Structure 1
Amino acid sequence: MTTTLRASREIDGKGRTVRDLLAGRKYSIDYYQREYKWQRKHVAELLDDLIDKFRESHEEGNERSAVADYGHYFLGSIIISDKDGQKFIIDGQQRLTTLTLLLIFLHHRLTDPEQKGQIADLIFSQRFGKRSFNLDIPERTACMEALYRGEETADANGLESIVNISARYADLEDLFPDEFAGAALPYFVDWLVENVHLVEITAYSDGDAYTIFETMNDRGLSLTPADMLKGYLLANISDAEKRIRASRVWKERVQKMAELGKDEDADGIKSWLRSQYAESIRERKRGASPQDFDLIATEFHRWVRDHEDRLGLTASAEFARFIERDFAFYGRWYERLRRAGEVLTPGLEDIHFNAQHNFTLQYPVLLAPLEVDDDEGNALRKLRLVSAYLDILIHRRIWNWRAIDYSTMQYAMFLVMRDIRGKDTAELALLLRDRLDTEKETFGPNGRNDRFGLHGMNGPQLHRLLARMTDYVETRSGQAPRYAEYAQRGRQGYEIEHIWADHPERHKDEFDHASEFQEYRNRVGGLLLLPKSFNASYGDLPYGDKREHYAGQNLLARSLHERAYDHNPGFKRFVEQSGLPFRAHGEFKKSDLDARQVLYQKLAERIWSPDRLTGEAVS
């Protein structure tokens, strides 16, 4: 489609695939353009949408050629100002940057050299041995180069875009579902570059480009789904005084949720409606139709209108009640839960732990058993039960190499949410304990999870798991809690320390091959959590030299040394009472790592024990 405003060609609009848009083309941004600002939430939403659309068509066993007939996905429009052949992005920088990061991530995961080469062409071009990225923004080049080479990104020097680019790439590593990282990956990549479309609107002056941008965004008139739901509900309250009162309640709650961050008001409403009313979810098969859970996510204002009978919205008084009682109650608790997710809150610590794993599905599940007549104490008991259940489930899955991303977990969490809706504390504890007891994944050795440890994509998860273990050992030994400190990453934070330095030649007496050594070295029993500065100074030393330095670190590291067991009555009492097989290790051979692996496994069983649910119900 081409639109001509005057005699000369001034505005073009063309539909393009990702390949069409990026292959052999360069895009720049003007100096006054805003920084790259996308947050993890935006990346998660885009990835979920792409995966869900791909899943609608893909079936295991399909030929690669079948991808041509898979469903198509529209990623929106971008607006370009063409200045003498040089393309400047006016609108769409956030999506194109994220798309480039996704392509770099996929390039690293692909194994077929031909397909890797095709993807590389969408990321950069090369002339005379010099690489030039297709999204050509000079201050970002070093960062993009590092990501493409699989290296750690350099110091951002305070540049917001660089900080966000590095963080969003880490999010992609964390969020991309394992189920599509194997045999399905080449299909997904084909689909992404050939079946995902954007409309490229090109103007040949900045003035025209910005006019189009403002017209399409229409900032002054755009209504959000939350605005439309509010309008629908208030319009059905016939009494003017009650309508004003309900409007005041709505405004107050929405404002409180909006203070949490962008789109939090919509997320809070979705969590409330899903938790209390969703009865169905789209089947995970090709061609399945969206159901309650899915429709609430995309158009909750329409869903409420279409299901007013189920929601009891049959008279003016019920519409007022829906806002003043129900929305006020669940909106207030959503706000508290989100704040507990951000900051460790006494009594609600598990919510923070789950949030650190970016388990956003926890919020509707947490709200599900709450009832509007629950008092504070009863509501908190229910929240502690559900958050503990999720904490145990998440860490069991991590220990068993199972994904916890949104698309993998949403069906299971819908079932939990539906089953626990409105349950009292005793019923809730029994139901959740039964679910854990019937789960296949536990911490007990099963031939695979007894090798659990560090691999390419689970570093952040394992860091947090080690932070929990370290903090647990210390607090149970009478020391002050330090989880927030241990969970901190970066230059001033902590990082995973391998007890064995990366020198297979030091272990030839026990390992014939370097690959076998590396697999063993990465097992969780051979890992600690130590300050980044420690690793830089001592990480390469042999164990015998490092051991003395471990004696001055956290208690889990110190437990390798005899001094941890001297003049430390709190730790000795914890070891005796728990029965955990702590002991000092004068050397650290293969058998020593095996012993620490067993110790960590038993420690995990203790930290994430289902008995926590029984204890909470009794209390």
Structure 2
Amino acid sequence: MEISPDKQNIDRVFSNTTYYIDFYQRQYKWNQEPVERLLEDVFYRFNEEFKLYENSDIPLEQLISKYGWYYLNTYVTNLVDGKIYIVDGQQRLTTITLILIKLKQQAEGYSSVLTDWIKNKITGHSGFKKEFWMNHENHKPCMQGLLDGLPYDKIDVSTGITAQNMLANFQVISKWLDKELLDKDKFETFVFFFLNRLVLINLNVDQTDVPMVFEVINDRGVKLKPYEILKGKLLGQIDKDELKVLELNEVWEHQVIKVNSYWEDEIDEFFTYFLKAKLADTRAVAQKFDNEYHRVMFEDEYDKVLKLKHNEKGVKSFLVNDFVYYTNLYSRIYESIRVYNEAQCYIYFNSLTDMNTQFLLILSACKINDSDEDEKIRIISRSLDRMFCLLQLQRSYNSNLFAVEIYKLSSKIREKSIPEILKAFDDSLLQLLSDARGIQVENVFNYSFFKETGIELDKRFKRYFFARIEKFIADNTNMNMKHSLYDLVQNTGWKNGFHIEHILSYNDDNYQLFNNDEELFERERNRLGGLLLLKGADNISSNNESYKKKLKSYSNTLYWNETLREDSYKSKLDFTNMIKKYALTFRPIDVFGPEELEERHKLLFEMVKIIWN
């Protein structure tokens, strides 16, 4: 590998070279902090030198050589078909260009003879055309607007985040230079210092070495996101003319922006899930992709499947097929999390319980342009919710065993048919129940497993459980939910949040119902049949009251709570039809003791079998 280092000041960097932004470079993402840090460093060095020589009689062009030089870092380029591309350093060079534009404006304000010198550091002629030396081809309207001194609200930033950051950072630079360079003498001294004494090192590398150099630079401090490095590794294999014709950079950027619109740098999460879905059969293998997927995926073992290493044809196929299809699929899943969709409601349900493994499983099961995509999404999200909930409700959930099984399951359903997917989920659920109970379990519903379930469940899951009970009643009685699923599960504020309520409070009357056996009383009152979901204020107001007083407070709360009250059964045909349809033992309960608690617990189990059948 040939690397040619060259020490250059800014006067030389921007003299006769047009710099094109390579596909390895991310957008211009510097914000106020790194811009101010650069300005602070530069002006600290300049002001120290300026104080030393402020009253010198030596002509400025000679005096400037006495100023110490300041190292601005390294930038990396490569030459392709007569064009110089920036491989690394675009953020710094773009910021320097913005500083030069501001200096040009100040020079004009001071009527300085240095104006033309500064202008020539911003733009110049390349062949027949006048170009910005930093050639942000897609964002020239913004750069030209800044150069022309247009009002900020008239500058075109519609081309994207690069233009938006240019405008924002120029305003930071403008305020800083207006504060520092208050007179013509100091201004012109700074121009000489800036153009002659600020130094960068240029490293020119061969095209074939660019991806490797780019990653090494990143490892040594210029931290990029894994997907930004992966972009370089993939697009770097394709001829630049073909990249332009096929618009592969545009394809990449469009899909990245689409996925990142859901969460900052969400595209890294996508790649992690995608690679695990297609390559990992075990949890141990999956963990390899957690931090440095952009490296691991090129290992020989995995490249046998992906075929992306030193394979221009494979990369082109991956970008226009796999990458586009699976990022669109990922976005579909995310959209159903963001906005409740009854047709794909289980995706939303899983998000309430943080079952993000639905991304993994859906990506695994779907093949490119899968004709069964809609049904696979529905079945997988529903089956995952079912498996998770039935394990929780039957006291058989172990987070480590569950995580291990998920990757086995992902392997079993990878690009498989719907019947195979359904069987794989059932097999996994029975296996996890059997492992937890130490016996061979043949039925996914076992009341003996459910009988003691209650307060020990995770707080959010308990809220989720009662929210699903509430939705079941609402759906089957043609009533609207009184509160959204999100509010029931996620809203935990002191006043308006939802909390678990014990029907049986600590008082002598309730102890007597359990023969004053405090241990028995505590165990029984904590079962799901003895619990409700109440809004914060209602929960507090019921406190340690007797059951009869509590019963009054359950009016106009949630439907499940209200089924304890007699007035919930009067002239309600839809409610009666639901009871008959499912043979459910709903009835009003005036006295709540051990038998009634057991009755309600069994009633919940019957609804569990319907909801998660």
Aligned to 1:395: 389
Shift of 1:224: 1.8
Q: How many residues align?
A: 382
Residue 277 of structure 1 is matched in structure 2 by: 279
Distance 1:509 1:556, change over 3 A: closer
**Shift in Å at residue 445 of structure 1?**
4.3
Measured in 2, the distance between the counterparts of 1:432 and 1:370 equals 16
Which of the numbers 340, 353, 360 marks the counterpart of 1:344?
340
Distance 1:416 1:393 in 2: 12
Q: 2:314 aligns with which of 314, 318, 322?
A: 318
Instruction: Give 2:419's aligned amino acid.
Output: A
- Which string of whole-angstrom CA distances, capped at 9 and with x for unpartnered residues, describes residues 157-190 of structure 1? xxxxxxxxxxxxxxxxxxxxxxxxxxxxxxxxxx
* Cα contact 2:503–2:532 (8 A) shared by 1: yes
- Pair 1:267–1:511, CA change in 2 (3 A): farther
Measured on the aligned residues, the alpha-carbon RMSD in Å equals 2.6
Counterpart residue number, 1:498? 502
Alignment partner for residue 485 of structure 2, among 473, 483, 486?
A: 483
Taking a change above 3 Å as real, the CA distance of residues 485 and 569 of structure 1, as seen in their structure-2 partners, is farther
| Displacement of 1:410 | 2.2
The residue number in structure 1 matching 2:260 is 258
Q: Shift in Å at residue 494 of structure 1? A: 1.9
The 3-state SS of whatever aligns with 1:528 is strand
Q: Distance in 1 between matches of 2:396 and 2:409?
A: 18
Task: Among all aligned residue pairs of Structure 1 and Structure 2, give the percentage whose two residues are the same amino acid.
Answer: 23
Query: Taking structure 1 as reference, are residues 597 and 305 closer, same or farther at Cα in structure 2, changes over 3 Å only?
Result: same
SS where residue 529 of structure 1 aligns? strand
Q: Which residue of 2 aligns with 1:548?
A: 552
CA displacement 1:1-40 (0-9 Å, x = unmatched): xxxxxxxxxxxxxxxxxxxxxxxxxxxxxxxx9xxxxxxx
Aligned match of 2:243: 242
TM-score (norm 1): 0.58
SS at match of 1:460: helix
One-letter amino acid of the structure 2 residue matched with residue 429 of structure 1: L
| Counterpart for residue 531 of structure 2 | 527
Please report how far the alpha carbon of residue 493 of structure 1 lies from its aligned counterpart in structure 2 after TM superposition: 2.7
**Alpha-carbon offset, residue 538 of structure 1:** 2.2
Regions of 4+ moved over 6 Å: 216-220
- Matched with 2:566 is 562
- Aligned 8 A contact 1:368 1:422 in 2: yes
Matched, 1:427 2:420: yes
Using the TM superposition, give the Cα deviation of residue 459 of structure 1 relative to its aligned residue in structure 2, in angstroms. 1.7
Q: Partner of 1:474 in structure 2? A: 474
8 Å Cα contact 1:270/1:297 also seen in 2: yes
Shift of 1:398: 1.1
| Cα distance between partner residues in 2 of 1:501 and 1:394 | 31
Calculate the TM-score normalised by the size of structure 2.
Answer: 0.58
Distance 1:393 1:294 in 2: 23
Matched, 1:356 2:340: no
Bigger CA radius of gyration: 2
Tell me by how many angstroms 1:422 deviates. Answer: 0.7
Q: Quick check: 2:283–2:403 contact (8 Å CA) kept in 1?
A: no
In 2: Cα distance, 1:281 partner to 1:332 partner: 26
1:256, distance to aligned residue in structure 2 (A): 2.1
SS of corresponding position for 1:495: strand
Once the two structures are TM-superposed, the CA of residue 591 in structure 1 deviates from its matched residue by: 0.6
Structure 2 partner of 1:374: 370
- In structure 2, distance between residues paired with 1:574 and 1:281: 43
Query: What secondary structure does 2:499 align onto?
Result: strand
Q: Distance in 1 between matches of 2:391 and 2:292?
A: 32
Seen in structure 2, the aligned counterparts of structure 1 residues 579 and 439 have a Cα distance that, compared at 3 Å, is farther
Q: Distance in 2 between matches of 1:563 and 1:588?
A: 17
Aligned to 1:575: 579
Show the counterpart of 1:53. none
Q: Which whole-Å CA distance do the structure 2 matches of 1:224 and 1:513 have between them? A: 60
CA distance in 1, matches of 2:328, 2:602: 44
Change (3 A) 1:245 1:276: same
2:598 aligned with 1:594, yes or no? yes
Q: 1:414 aligns with which of 378, 395, 407?
A: 407
Q: Structure 1 regions of 5+ residues with no counterpart?
A: 1-32, 34-215, 283-290, 610-619
Distance in 1 between residues matched to 2:218 and 2:289, nearest whole Å: 24
Looking at structure 2, the residues matched to 346 and 242 of structure 1 have their Cα atoms a distance apart, in angstroms, of 41
Contact 2:353 2:461 in 1 (8 A): yes
Q: Deviations over 1:467-495 (max 9, x none)?
A: 11111112111112443343233232322
8 A contact 2:365–2:414 mirrored in 1: yes
User: Which residue number in structure 1 is paired with residue 440 of structure 2?
Assistant: none
CA contact (8 A) 2:396 2:433 kept: no
| 1:9-408 matches, cutoff 5 A | 221-238=222-239, 240-242=241-243, 245-282=247-284, 291=285, 293-306=286-299, 307-313=302-308, 315-375=311-371, 378-403=372-397, 405=399, 407-408=400-401
Q: Matches of 1:568 and 1:499 in 2, distance apart?
A: 25
